Structure 1
């Protein structure tokens, strides 16, 4: 394993210029261990690396996105919990990360109790959407990403109610399609009851092992099921991606030449192209 001394702080090659208005993407999968937070951290970093202003909202009580971006618990102060409870505005909860152009609303330990507390609040399913709307011109970002919990809770519903679209990380494993079907039903329910504009922006295949025939079969099945909704980019299993969080930096900073980092840069290109196509079609 490399030492911290050896980590490069260079940034990857430039991506094409992206769109210039904030779109809110909820990064969600009801199943844990699929690379959801890893995708949130590294996609946000890849977008920020080309000068896009990115806000990552950590809505997972585990707080792994906050930790993975080097924000220690004692540094977090106001975060997602305070925003949802109306104790802080979104602007007051934003923290600068070590990555230029990348900002975060962190998850604090209080967020683990938010599920019960939200039940008694007005507009409990729209608290995050209301906070984003209230920020107005202060929401000066090109992209807003929300890292959701690995379960269907009021926190996940809040994220989907606030989002323009959902980005789904999907592990290349045997039960992948079953879990995906459940998530798509959740998106449909949120669209029908809370957010008519919500769509699935794309599905990204994660933890792909080209030596494993099952990975190839799952990828083929998912593409057959969802077609162009599945990103061309596939995120490989890569030890450098797994090592990076222990150093409090994204994989793209820990080792941007590793296959995982290269894949996330490619994913960022696809996200930008899809967002640009939506803008051109509007």
Structure 2
């Protein structure tokens, strides 16, 4: 008999608010885990394709990318592209995703397109899905396919208001589409200890969500913002920077939590 397909841990990285460090966290957490020896796949379903660009994937090398995967035109294995980081691969995004809501809305399994694609299995320990901002069809597909959702949360005034909407959406998906879905955790991003408001918001988030919030917070760091223009994660751009070290710390904490729950070996 053929060997059964490997079932990776699938995590959607989502926040309906843009500009919160979602794609930056997807790239750099995935890279940090890959550098640590895990086989990681990053699936980019954001039409902007920033995760693909940030990993140096040229537009000409993307073929149909995640759009073709959702459409069922290619297999998961055939849509995967290698990156410059050992153990890290990506299913890149293409501009065709911009019309996904309209194009797939009449599809009988419109909420399960990504679930069906993942049913083929893949040679990865962890799969991250970089979602677009908003809670439309693409994000809904990610939440339906995922085991858990990781929420990057910028330490700023509107953070708590935005996350409550996301949490309601997660509960809706859990009730109607994906009963196994859980909150992997909340990652505070763009923190600034010199900023009283940033510190206050961080404290409020930790008080409200308690141990759902990762101890590691990602600081504002110029190296993090520079790295994507070079098509590499911050770990490869400037390993000693505070941003790179923060994502290494986040990866270590992510692993500790997952292993404590026996989700990863």
TM exceeding 0.5? yes
Select 1:259's aligned residue among 221, 225, 242.
242
Q: What is the TM-score of this pair, normalised by structure 2?
A: 0.96
What residue in structure 2 maps to residue 184 of structure 1?
167
Q: Does 1:106 align with 2:130?
A: no
What residue in structure 1 maps to residue 59 of structure 2?
73
What residue in structure 2 maps to residue 95 of structure 1?
81
What residue in structure 1 maps to residue 142 of structure 2?
159
CA root-mean-square deviation: 1.3
What residue in structure 1 maps to residue 105 of structure 2?
119
Distance in 1 (CA, whole Å) between partners of 2:174 and 2:141 is: 12
Structure 1 residues 162-241: aligned runs within 5 Å: 162-241=145-224
What residue in structure 2 maps to residue 27 of structure 1?
13
In 2 relative to 1, CA 228–110 (structure 1 residues): closer, same or farther, beyond 3 Å?
same
Distance in 1 (CA, whole Å) between partners of 2:90 and 2:64 is: 11
In 2 relative to 1, CA 280–192 (structure 1 residues): closer, same or farther, beyond 3 Å?
closer
Moved more, 195-204 or 272-281: 272-281
* Matched residue SS, 1:24: strand
Assess if the C-alpha contact under 8 Å between 2:9 and 2:263 holds in 1. no
What residue in structure 2 maps to residue 51 of structure 1?
37
Unpaired stretches in structure 2, ≥5 consecutive residues: 1-5
Deviation at 1:173, TM superposition (A): 0.2
What residue in structure 2 maps to residue 274 of structure 1?
257
Distance in 2 (CA, whole Å) between partners of 1:29 and 1:274 is: 21
Assess if the C-alpha contact under 8 Å between 2:12 and 2:131 holds in 1. yes
Unpaired stretches in structure 1, ≥5 consecutive residues: 1-19
Moved over 6 A (4+): none
Q: Deviations over 1:180-223 (max 9, x none)?
A: 10110010011011000100010000000111001110111001
Q: What is the TM-score of this pair, normalised by structure 1?
A: 0.90
What residue in structure 1 maps to residue 116 of structure 2?
130
Assess if the C-alpha contact under 8 Å between 1:78 and 1:92 holds in 2. no
Distance in 1 (CA, whole Å) between partners of 2:37 and 2:158 is: 38
Aligned residues: 259
Deviation at 1:280, TM superposition (A): 7.0
Distance in 1 (CA, whole Å) between partners of 2:253 and 2:125 is: 15
Q: Does 1:149 align with 2:132?
A: yes
Deviation at 1:78, TM superposition (A): 2.6
What residue in structure 2 maps to residue 61 of structure 1?
47
Deviation at 1:36, TM superposition (A): 0.1
Deviation at 1:28, TM superposition (A): 0.3
